[in-house]
Structure 1
C-alpha cells in the first residue's frame, strides 16, 4: 500500500481573502463591461412633447415633419410641404409608410404618438450603415439624429383611399383650368409623383 504524503495547508494571511474576492468581482465586472461594450447601441427616442393615443404599426402611413442631422449637428435632410393643396383630405406633414424607411427610423416611428415631438437617435447599423445612398451628404457609418413631429398616422388602405380622392379632385380641377400638379409633374398618389421618404 502506498502512503500518502501529507502537506500541511498554510493558513490564509489576514486580508488575502478580501483581496481574492475583490479580484473575482473585478474579473466579473470586466467581463460584463466587455460584453456590454460589444452590444450595438439601440435606437433612442426622447420625448420633447407628449403625444396621445396609440402608436403606428409597420404597415401604417405616418404624416410627419422632421429634420435629419448627423451626430455633429450637420443638417442633411428636412421635410418639405407638399407642393399641392390637400384641402384637409390628408393631414399636414410628409407622408411615409413606416416599413418603407431605414430600420432605425421605422423602429422609432412605432414609439411615437400623434401630436408628439421627439428626438430620434439612430446608430449607423440601423441607419444607412457603410453604404449611404449615392450622392447623399451622409458619410459611411454615420449615426443619425432626427427631430420628428408626429402629425398623424393611418392605415395604408385609408391613406391610399384619401390619396385617390385627392387625385380625382385635382384631375377634375385640371379639366377646369389646371390645378397644381404633384411632385414630378403627376397627380398626387401617382407612384412616380410620390414624395421621397428619407431612407
Structure 2
C-alpha cells in the first residue's frame, strides 16, 4: 500500500514537472508528498480563480494568500467581505446584462419566425399561439393531458439544427403527456392514432428563458414532426 501511495505521488509529480517544462514555466521541484499536495492545492486554487477572475493581479493574490496565513492582511475581514461581495455582485450584474442583450436577439428572431410562419399555407394557429401542420391524419379518438403516448418525433431549431430525434435513433418513445413542455401537451391532444403533425412551438410553450442544451438558445421556438403511434 505504501509503495502504491508513493508511486501515485511520484507519477503526479512527474506529470506536473513535465507539463511545466512543456509550458516553459518555472521549474517546480516536488521532493515529497507534502510538496506535491501543496502544489496541487495551488493548482486547484489557480484553476478556480482563473475561470472567474481572468483580469486579476495574480501577484497580489499570492501576496494576500501569504498575508492571510501570516495573520497580517492589509484589509480587515469585514471590509474584505464587503469589497469582495460588491465586486462579484457588480460582475454578476454585468454578465447578466450581456446575457440579456444576447437573449433579446434570440427572442426577436423567434418572434419573427412565428409571425412569418403563421402566414404559410396549411399552418394553423391555436389560441395559445401553438402552430401546426397536418402531414397525415389518423383515426379514432384523441389522447388527453393525462394519457400515456407512444410517438416518433424529430426535433429541430428554427434554423433546422436537429437537437433530438427518435426517428434518427430508430426507437419510438413513451411518456405521459403531462410530463412534457406545454406545446407538446397541447399539440399531441389534437392528434389521433396514426396521425403525423408538424408543430411550431413558441418559446412560451417550450423552454422559455432556459436552455436545456447548447443547441437550443433561450427564448427559442422549437419545431417538431410528431407521429402518434398509440396512446392509453
TM-score by length of 2: 0.43
Whichever structure has more helix as a proportion of its residues is: 2
